[in-house]
Structure 1
Amino acid sequence: MAAILVKPALACSFNISFNTSFEPDAVRLPASEVRRLAEWMINDPAAYEKKEEFHIALYEAPAFGVSHVLARKRTAHLKQLLTTFGVPASMISMEIARYNPGKSVAPNFAHINFMPGCPHPCCPGPEPTSQIR
């Protein structure tokens, strides 16, 4: 999963993830996963006063039925869900990685990574913030 998200390495990395999977050939998540995403938004990102970024990452895997077009539709669906839950489009980045059997998670896997803004435990300063605000 680390290969799917290419971000600069920092001494302290703090993010909160939501992992899900699409049904084969599906453009949209099933209702049960949309509900789980809504609960995650309420319980995790909502706990932070400042939000920096939401990063959507998933795979393109033509040999496994996930064409580039299907992968783009899936990222658009996840972005639409996040905006429906109140995330500004400017805070959403998206990545479609090439599926690599044996090194990647399942081809229908999708990942949303939330990075809060400061304050959080890894904020720069003399003492990291240890409490969620």
Structure 2
Amino acid sequence: MARFLTLLVLLLAIDRAFACKPEQHFNANFSDTADQLSGTEAGNLATWVKSLQNDYSNHDLFVISSYVKNASQPGDSAERRTKWLKDFLVAAGEDENSIVSAGTQVYKPENFFYTKITPSTLIIEFVPGCPNPCCLGANPVKEK
């Protein structure tokens, strides 16, 4: 019985370690021809960033992913949008060195059938440092 309980505790701990994903994301929806977000969308982004700043004391990484409609389309617009988002995050108080670009990929609608992501959407992935709900240690924060 003791072996069973020990194994059960280990399995639950391993499952928690692998299942826990503290990262959060924001879909920044640009209009097709714009290189910056609309006022409403910028307000949504500001609210999201403020909530991260309130919920997590350490911000390890922001990763920005962008898309183009097809491989022959130049990525200039995606690069300008990425720069705009990075500048926005820095202006909101985030460390410039923690913001990286994942590059530009060709948009494939079949990869996004369950979301409202379009070729004009840039995805910002946020990865918090410890403490967060997935940190092992004395004082992990609780999930909200």
Residue 86 of structure 1: aligned partner: 93
Q: Aligned to 1:119, what secondary structure does the other structure show?
A: coil
In the TM superposition, what are the counterparts of 1:1-80 in structure 2 within 5 Å?
11=18, 12-62=20-70, 67-80=74-87
**Deviation for aligned residue 1:43:** 1.7
Q: Aligned to 1:110, what secondary structure does the other structure show?
A: strand
Matched, 1:122 2:134: yes
Residue 4 of structure 1: aligned partner: none
Question: Rg: which structure is higher?
Answer: 2
Quick check: which one's helix share is greater? 2
Q: Aligned to 1:103, what secondary structure does the other structure show?
A: helix
Q: Could you tell me whether the CA contact under 8 Å between 2:58 and 2:128 is conserved in 1?
A: yes
Which consecutive residues of structure 1, in runs of 5 or more, have no partner in the other structure? 1-9
Q: Which amino acid aligns with 2:87?
A: Q
Q: Could you tell me whether the CA contact under 8 Å between 1:20 and 1:109 is conserved in 2?
A: yes
Which consecutive residues of structure 2, in runs of 5 or more, have no partner in the other structure? 1-16
Q: Which amino acid aligns with 2:130?
A: C
TM-score by length of 1: 0.79
Where has structure 1 moved over 6 Å in runs of 4 or more? none
Matched, 1:112 2:120: no
Cα-Cα RMSD: 2.3
**Deviation for aligned residue 1:85:** 0.4
Q: Percent identity?
A: 30
Q: 1:130 to 1:86 in 2, by over 3 A?
A: closer
TM-score by length of 2: 0.73
Deviations 1:23-60 (A, max 9, x none): 01211111111111111111234321111111111212
